[in-house]
A and B are shown apart, each in its own frame.
Chain A
Amino acid sequence: MAIIERPESGTPVPALAGGPAVVGPAQTLGAFRRPVTTTGWKSWLFTVDHKKLGIMYGVSAMFFFVVGGLEAVLIRLQLAQPNGKVLSADVYNQMFTMHATTMVFLFIMPMAAAFANYMVPLQIGARDVAFPRINAFGFWAYFFGAIFINTSWFLGGAADGGWFMYAPNSSTLFSPSHGIDFWVLGLQITGIASLSGSVNLIVTVLNMRAPGMSLLKVPIFTWLVLVTQFLLLFAMPVITVALFLLNFQRGFGATFFDTSAGADPLLWQHLFWIFGHPEVYIIILPSFGLVSEVLPVFSRKPLFGYPLVVFSGVAIGFVGWGVWAHHMFASGLGPVSVAVFSIATMMIAIPTGVKIINWCMTMWGGKLWYTTSMMFAIALVVEFTIGGVSGVTHAAASSDTQQTDTYYIVAHFHYVLFGGAVLGLFAGFYYWWPKVFGRMLDEKLGKWNFWLMIIGLNLTFGPMHILGLQGQPRRMYRYDPDRMGEGFFNLTFWNQVATLGSIILSVGVLFFIINVWVTAKRPADAPLDPWDARSLEWLTASPPKEHNFDTIPQVHALDEFFHRKYAENEHGELVKVATAEELLAAEEAAGSGHVDLPAPSYWPILLAFGLPVAAYGVIYNHIGIAVGGVIILLAMFGWSLEPSYAEPTDYDPPTDGGSTKELATLG
């Protein structure tokens, strides 16, 4: 090929068993050498391995979790007294805008993508995702987009219009700094990441399942990830259009939301919430999937009503499109629309409520093992219930005109997003850590992590119910002591409790980071099957080999792995018939030793890098758009000419006649 690379010449590479002893590099034509290493920093930059990319998503998302958390603590410190002086009005507005943007787009969504990337191929018995290079591109687009948005802090201030960025307050007339431009373009870039990722995972789940795995034998996490990807696929284009309109208005003088030119500002609200409400389910469904994996494992029972959980997930995916205007009950829609959306919103509570019942019934009659992972999963059931029932109270539209834009709403969606989505992610960390890193997270530190987070969560967001019901609106950099009521338990007191809670919550998260640090220092000695798990990802080594499975497993049942370990004896009792080690040994013995894996590539990261370059160009100098465009075109050109599998001659040592597993590992 014309534009491919070979390894650096000079140092001969020791060959693997079976190959020639030492091989010198052979020259091929080409402007670039193709990256082929699987160790060292380069292997991370150019990898297309879904597992490495999953870890990279996870690390980046965790970083932005800390960033968003610090923003939240600053907000709470400002509100610890009526006329807080920690932040100015302007910085406060930037802070809550970026807190929401960071947590939604740069933490929860990519953290869910981390789990999906890592686990979905393993759960369905595949060797990678359908389009590994697009997968790599998706990660880098997210990464560069996230950095891009946050550079606005150092370039004249971040976006200050709230994450919902209502027009016309988002126009240059009312927000003249570049903050909103960064926000718009950054979200376009991360949106490209989400879209490419969704197509990739949909194709992967639909086409690459192991033989025998019919759709109703797909593990529940993968199922709900699939529903999430469909939501992304249809929701992201809506926000993309909205962002383009805003971008053209701010940058090029278009008048889509210019009220002096006759625009109706409600256009933006409809566009935003048609995206924004499915987005809520995009955030929560992967975590629902996570706990639906964790609860059965630690209850030693199958998920209760698996088909019902699947179908209620799909139902949420559909009905989720018909409820967006419940964010707009006070915005002046007519009573008929309000009534329709009010009823639709109540309807979506049904499949959600069904899930709570299913989780409780999964534990009913089980043999409950309270690991940290299980505790996080149980906490999700409890805390999400609080967010769920307060959500039903907003569905009553007439009552919602009092609740909307108060702290009661803040309480609600933090119980849903933190109490739901984030606790689910933490359940996933503790559950899959030994799978991913071959090390068990410390259970004792885990309990500290858990209890501090739960206490902090309830102290932070619990009092916000009271604040909202007693009339404190959101998004205010200061509040008026005259409006805080009387008595010891006045609203200033509850604001201070919330601030205290946010600090406890932060310490809880700090314990997780300490736990990760402590665990990383320990030897990788996790048992192969520490939790007596049920699904296919445990049917391989921990951490998994680069090609995941030596043999693609033949699937016979939901919870395939569990059914290989256990069988019923003649009395109908469950007895263990095989250990995980035995099963793995059998798989390894049956392996052909001949696996084709896609090779690393320069192009995904280069293509993604062109995006922020062009975006800076849009803001500062239109020549930058051309530079970014050239980078993007060059990368597309190189990408299209590069085969996904490296030629035998690309490897060092070169192979003759097709790559083998070992060579693929080397390359």
Chain B
Amino acid sequence: MRTLPTVSNRIERVSRRVLPALGLMLLAGCAKNAPQDFLHPEGDPAKTINTVNKIIFPLAGIVAVLVFIGVAVILWKFKDRGQPMPHQGHGKSTIEIGSIVVSASLLVVVAVPTFSTIFDLAETDDCNMVINVTGQQWWWEFAYPVQDGIDKPIVTSGDIVIPEGECVMLRITSRDVIHSFWVPKLNGKKDAVPNRVHTLRFQADQPGVYLGQCAEFCGLSHANMKMNAIALTRADFATWVANQTAEKPMASEGQAGFEGQGVYSSYCTACHQVDGLKDPSGNPVVAQADTTLVAGAAPNLTHLMSRITFAGGTYWLQTEKCRDDLFNASPEEFGALYLKGVDESCLNRIELEEWLRNAPAKKAMYPTLNEDGLGRGMPYLALSEDQIDSLVEYLLTLQ
């Protein structure tokens, strides 16, 4: 049998090596700058949630470590070393009642802040802006109804643009299955449920990009249903609104994108809306996605190049270099850079062309029409290379 000092030396030796290693692993174990890390919140609601996190995660960790230490001590202390059969005691009521009281009181410590934050976060009366958020397979639509500062409705997708430091109330719903709206750094999730409208406080404390994605399994391409929250200063936000609501003339013969506009009119307008586009007799072209798609809607492309992603957030619209510049911009510079939009030099042309060449190969979808003649997602269009080139030229005009 080992003598006590040797054993404790050993424990000491082991713990001297293992404990710092464990601590280091905990510190270094996490990824740096993970864009969806909710333990580093950057918006007021997410910070409110984090006040609960700061209590509950350490407490849970401490309880677990105490149990580990307790078990380790027991395993070492009461190992069978030939001691006589133990006393056949059936329990001790003080310990039994004590364990109930201790675990109950620990839970009270957690319950109180949980309770108050549930009600705080449900509050939306102090929000001074409304955005309607609609999920469908497999992209997000953001619609800004007419309100203070917005005198024409705006419909966009991929990027949800908000003014910094202000509470925005999101009204979340779905056109097909259940989705869940989640931008981890700004707030927790809220499900988008058809036939129901759920509200969510939404706020970012600084200008910047905040990545998010659909968090409720919503079918085939759930993994590809992403969005970005873009926070701008009030002034930049007004500029963004002005651009989104401005009338855009059609390209006329000789102008950039004129040929592509023709391709667009023949292949894309059944589903995708571009405001300001007119047919030869001068009537506005209105997309009729409800006759072609299960969800009844496809992304509005009027200002495609003011966004940073396409294909429901699956692909970046910008090259890696331009994207890095934008993502690493200081809060002061960010707005101007974002409002510049995507120009020819920054365009992620390769993936955009691949998408136009064969969309279902770039994103899992069900474009095949069902018995009602409706599909889910963008079909293969059999465009020629010339058509694709001119289409890209046209899309670049949609600033």
Binding site for B on A (CB under 8 A): 88-90, 93, 160-162, 166, 168-169, 173-176, 259, 262-266, 299-308, 330-332, 334-335, 338-339, 342-343, 346-347, 349-350, 353-354, 356-358, 360-361, 363-370, 378, 381-382, 385-386, 389-390, 392-393, 395-402, 404-406, 466, 469-480, 482-487, 489-491, 493-494, 566, 573-574
Asked if A335 and B80 make an inter-chain contact with CB atoms under 8 angstroms apart, the answer reads no
Q: Which of B79, B114, B218, B224 contacts A342 (CB 8 A)?
A: B114
Which residues of the other chain, A, contact B198 by a CB distance below 8 angstroms?
A: 332
Q: Which of A266, A338, A347 contacts B193 (CB 8 A)?
A: A266
* Selected A-B contacts with CB under 8 Å, 27 pairs: A264-B196, A300-B85, A301-B86, A304-B90, A304-B91, A305-B92, A332-B190, A335-B121, A343-B111, A356-B67, A357-B95, A365-B78, A365-B89, A367-B78, A367-B80, A367-B83, A385-B68, A389-B60, A397-B118, A398-B188, A399-B52, A401-B187, A473-B215, A477-B364, A486-B32, A489-B31, A494-B31
A365-B78, A398-B52 known; A168+B177 contact, CB < 8 A: yes
A367-B86, A369-B80 known; A486+B115 contact, CB < 8 A: no
Asked if A385 and B64 make an inter-chain contact with CB atoms under 8 angstroms apart, the answer reads yes
A303 to B88, CA, bound (A): 9
Interface centre among A300, A349, A396, A566 (most CB of B within 10 A): A396
Instruction: Give residues of chain B (93-146) contacting chain A, Cβ–Cβ below 8 Å.
Output: 95-96, 99-100, 103-104, 107, 110-111, 113-115, 117-119, 121-122, 137
A486-B33, A566-B85 known; A368+B78 contact, CB < 8 A: yes
Which residues of the other chain, A, contact B42 by a CB distance below 8 angstroms?
A: none
Instruction: Give residues of chain B (161-209) contacting chain A, Cβ–Cβ below 8 Å.
Output: 176-178, 180, 182, 184, 187-191, 193-196, 198
A480 CB to nearest B CB, Å: 7
A26 CB to nearest B CB, Å: 57
Q: Name the CB-closest residue of B to A168.
A: B177
**Stretch from B69-77, B251-259, B266-274 forming part of the interface with A:** B69-77
Asked if A485 and B31 make an inter-chain contact with CB atoms under 8 angstroms apart, the answer reads yes
Chain A proximity mask over B8-33: 1 for CB below 8 Å, otherwise 0:
00000000000000000000111111
Which residues of the other chain, B, contact A469 by a CB distance below 8 angstroms?
A: 30, 37-39
Which residues of the other chain, A, contact B67 by a CB distance below 8 angstroms?
A: 356, 360, 381-382, 385
Q: Does B46 contact A (CB under 8 A)?
A: yes
Asked if B184 and A471 make an inter-chain contact with CB atoms under 8 angstroms apart, the answer reads yes
Asked if B37 and A470 make an inter-chain contact with CB atoms under 8 angstroms apart, the answer reads yes
Which residues of the other chain, A, contact B79 by a CB distance below 8 angstroms?
A: 368, 370
A369-B80, A393-B56 known; A491+B31 contact, CB < 8 A: yes
Q: Does B84 contact A (CB under 8 A)?
A: yes
Which residues of the other chain, A, contact B321 by a CB distance below 8 angstroms?
A: none
Interface centre among B89, B100, B189 (most CB of A within 10 A): B189
Which residues of the other chain, B, contact A405 by a CB distance below 8 angstroms?
A: 180, 182, 189, 215-217
Which residues of the other chain, B, contact A346 by a CB distance below 8 angstroms?
A: 107, 110-111
A369 CB to nearest B CB, Å: 5
Asked if B195 and A263 make an inter-chain contact with CB atoms under 8 angstroms apart, the answer reads yes
Q: Name the CB-closest residue of A to B364.
A: A89
A363 to B74, CA, bound (A): 7
A334-B122, A396-B52 known; A402+B188 contact, CB < 8 A: yes
Beyond A365-B78, A399-B52, A493-B31, 20 additional contacts (C-beta under 8 Å) are A89-B364, A166-B177, A173-B294, A264-B196, A335-B118, A354-B96, A354-B99, A366-B78, A367-B85, A382-B68, A389-B63, A392-B60, A393-B57, A402-B189, A471-B34, A471-B38, A485-B30, A489-B29, A489-B30, A573-B84
Asked if B364 and A90 make an inter-chain contact with CB atoms under 8 angstroms apart, the answer reads yes
Binding site for A on B (CB under 8 A): 28-39, 46, 48-49, 52-53, 56-57, 60-61, 63-64, 67-68, 70-71, 74-75, 78-80, 83-92, 95-96, 99-100, 103-104, 107, 110-111, 113-115, 117-119, 121-122, 137, 176-178, 180, 182, 184, 187-191, 193-196, 198, 211, 213-224, 226, 294, 316, 364, 370, 376
Asked if B91 and A306 make an inter-chain contact with CB atoms under 8 angstroms apart, the answer reads yes
A168-B177, A331-B193, A397-B118 known; A366+B110 contact, CB < 8 A: no
Which residues of the other chain, B, contact A392 by a CB distance below 8 angstroms?
A: 56, 60, 107, 110
Asked if A485 and B35 make an inter-chain contact with CB atoms under 8 angstroms apart, the answer reads yes
Asked if B56 and A176 make an inter-chain contact with CB atoms under 8 angstroms apart, the answer reads no
Which residues of the other chain, A, contact B78 by a CB distance below 8 angstroms?
A: 299, 363-368
Asked if A484 and B189 make an inter-chain contact with CB atoms under 8 angstroms apart, the answer reads no
Which residues of the other chain, A, contact B70 by a CB distance below 8 angstroms?
A: 360
A485 to B211, CA, bound (A): 12
Interface centre among A331, A370, A382 (most CB of B within 10 A): A331
Which residues of the other chain, B, contact A173 by a CB distance below 8 angstroms?
A: 294, 370
Which residues of the other chain, A, contact B48 by a CB distance below 8 angstroms?
A: 398
A353 CB to nearest B CB, Å: 4
A446 to B226, CA, bound (A): 46
B34 CB to nearest A CB, Å: 3
A368-B79, A470-B37, A485-B34 known; A89+B226 contact, CB < 8 A: no
Which residues of the other chain, A, contact B88 by a CB distance below 8 angstroms?
A: 301-302, 574
Which residues of the other chain, A, contact B87 by a CB distance below 8 angstroms?
A: 301, 365
Which residues of the other chain, B, contact A176 by a CB distance below 8 angstroms?
A: 370
Q: Name the CB-closest residue of B to A476.
A: B223
Which residues of the other chain, A, contact B213 by a CB distance below 8 angstroms?
A: 473, 483
Q: Name the CB-closest residue of A to B199.
A: A332
A93 to B217, CA, bound (A): 9
Q: Name the CB-closest residue of B to A474.
A: B217
A381-B71, A491-B31 known; A339+B118 contact, CB < 8 A: yes
Asked if A396 and B215 make an inter-chain contact with CB atoms under 8 angstroms apart, the answer reads no
Which residues of the other chain, B, contact A485 by a CB distance below 8 angstroms?
A: 30-35, 37
A301 to B92, CA, bound (A): 14
Interface centre among A356, A370, A381, A393 (most CB of B within 10 A): A393
Q: Name the CB-closest residue of A to B25.
A: A489
A579 to B74, CA, bound (A): 29
B367 CB to nearest A CB, Å: 14
Q: Name the CB-closest residue of A to B88.
A: A302
B366 CB to nearest A CB, Å: 9
